[in-house]
């Protein structure tokens, strides 16, 4: 009889596969990546892969959910420690600094996910839920800022939240094309200046 694997060990293998998927999808893209690529990178068996995921699409969805949950948990914990809505906004903007390879990999996979969701209802649902969650959290900070009179009284919270993420994502799209660290970091600082001027 095969030895039982602890829940902790199972989770370690699942995360190892998800991390391998991140590496492969960020390098080759969703369509060019195969299950064999993920398995080879993880140094686990193909059987191990199918113990956790039914297909390449399933690990793709799970990767986005895992990264979203991890980043949102860390962000929420940090924001709860910051009393000022202005400082919360500044913290969110500057999370992207300094730019590094890991952040670039995440954004490449996020862009793949956005594009693939257009043709896949299941992935689109994951993306819409993720987007709505992020927007609602941003709107809550903007409302807090209005309530505390840190932000202007006539601020349209819905428009401001959409603008925030439009600027953020637009900067990243340009960066993935241009691949210039200095330009990226200058744009992030300009993003901070421009957005704070808009909401104040």
Q: Residue 133 and residue 137: Cα distance in Å, rounded? A: 6
Q: Residue 194 and residue 42: Cα distance in Å, rounded? A: 43
**Cα dist from 13 to 7, 21, 65, whole Å:** 10, 12, 17
Give the per-residue pLDDT at 179.
81
Give the per-residue pLDDT at 92.
97
Give the per-residue pLDDT at 3.
54
Give the per-residue pLDDT at 4.
59
Q: Which long-range contacts (CB under 8 A, 24 or more apart) does 117-120 make?
A: 120/57
Kindly give the confidence (pLDDT) of every residue in the chain, 200 residues in length, as a single tens digit, with 9 standing for 90 and above.
Answer: 445 578 888 899 999 999 999 999 999 999 999 999 999 999 999 999 999 999 999 999 999 889 988 988 999 999 999 999 999 999 999 999 998 889 999 999 988 888 888 888 888 888 888 889 999 999 999 999 999 999 999 999 999 999 999 999 999 999 888 888 999 999 999 999 999 999 99
Which residues fall within 8 angstroms of residue 101, CB to CB, at 6 or more apart?
none
Which residues fall within 8 angstroms of residue 44, CB to CB, at 6 or more apart?
13, 16, 17
Give the per-residue pLDDT at 1.
44
Q: Residue 115 and residue 31: Cα distance in Å, rounded? A: 11
Q: Residue 97 and residue 27: Cα distance in Å, rounded? A: 22
């Amino acid at each position: 009889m095969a030895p039982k694997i602890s829940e902790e060990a199972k989770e370690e293998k699942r995360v190892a596969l998800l991390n391998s998927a991140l590496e492969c999808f960020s390098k080759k893209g969703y369509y060019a990546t195969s299950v064999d690529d993920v398995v080879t990178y993880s140094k686990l068996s193909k059987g191990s892969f199918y113990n956790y995921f039914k297909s390449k699409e399933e690990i793709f969805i799970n990767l986005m959910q895992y990264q979203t949950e991890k980043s949102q948990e860390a962000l929420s914990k940090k924001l709860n420690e910051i009393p000022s809505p202005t400082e919360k906004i500044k913290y969110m903007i500057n999370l992207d600094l300094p730019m590094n390879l890991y952040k670039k990999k995440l954004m490449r996979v996020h862009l793949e996910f956005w594009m693939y969701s257009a043709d896949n209802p299941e992935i689109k649902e994951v993306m819409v839920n993720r987007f709505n969650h992020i927007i609602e959290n941003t709107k809550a900070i903007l409302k807090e800022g209005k309530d505390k009179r840190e932000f202007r009284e006539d601020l349209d919270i819905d428009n401001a939240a959409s603008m925030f993420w439009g600027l953020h994502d637009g900067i990243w799209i340009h960066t993935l094309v241009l691949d210039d660290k200095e330009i990226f970091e200058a744009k992030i600082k300009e993003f901070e200046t421009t957005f704070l001027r808009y909401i104040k």
